[in-house]
Amino acid sequence: MAKNFYSGVVSRLNQGHDFSDELPAVKNIGLEVTKDVVNQAIKDFSEKNNMAWDLPKSLAEQCKSKVTWTVDPEEIYPRYSVTHSFLTPAGNVKVLITTKGQNFSVDIITSKNKMAANAAMVELEKIISFALLLS
């Protein structure tokens, strides 16, 4: 949402729109500095946007993570798809997180063999508990 807003501001600035009536500070700092500030805001948003899904370092070292997101122009919030894949001594465990608006779902995927899946989940619990102790 913020990125779309600031991108619109940049577009309007590039078209020569004068924001000094809405933001008196723009009159004092000028058009170029205003563009720089807006571009920095977009950059800051993008960095924070990517960091939102980061795991603590000790836990991130134990898995492979992938974060993707898409923007639907008719929706306020971007949609995220996050996958954390853990290789435990008892097998693989994937944690899938998906968002849609303000809703999210978390799916945990393990082996189809019930005993192997339970063992993998116990191992994942150990990995997460130990990683949190180190944080």
Statement to judge: residues 117 and 83 lie in one domain = yes
Statement to judge: residues 32 and 74 lie in one domain = no
Statement to judge: residues 31 and 74 lie in one domain = no
Q: How many domains does the chain have?
A: 2
Statement to judge: residues 66 and 115 lie in one domain = yes
Statement to judge: residues 120 and 68 lie in one domain = yes
Residue type, 86: F
**Tell me: the pLDDT tens digits for 64-94?**
999 998 888 888 788 999 999 999 999 899 9
Rounded to two decimals, the pTM is 0.66
pLDDT for 2: 59
4 falls in which pLDDT band (50, 70, 90)? low
* Tokens standing for residue 79: 């949609």
**Tell me: the pLDDT tens digits for 90-116?**
989 999 999 998 899 999 999 889 999
Domain residues for the domain of 32 are 2-50
Between 31-51 and 2-14, two packed helices, what is the crossing angle to 10 degrees?
A: 160
24-30: average pLDDT: 78
Statement to judge: residues 45 and 65 lie in one domain = no
DSSP labels, 44-91: HHHHHHHHTTPPPHHHHTTEEEEEEEE--TTSSSPEEEEEEEEEETTE
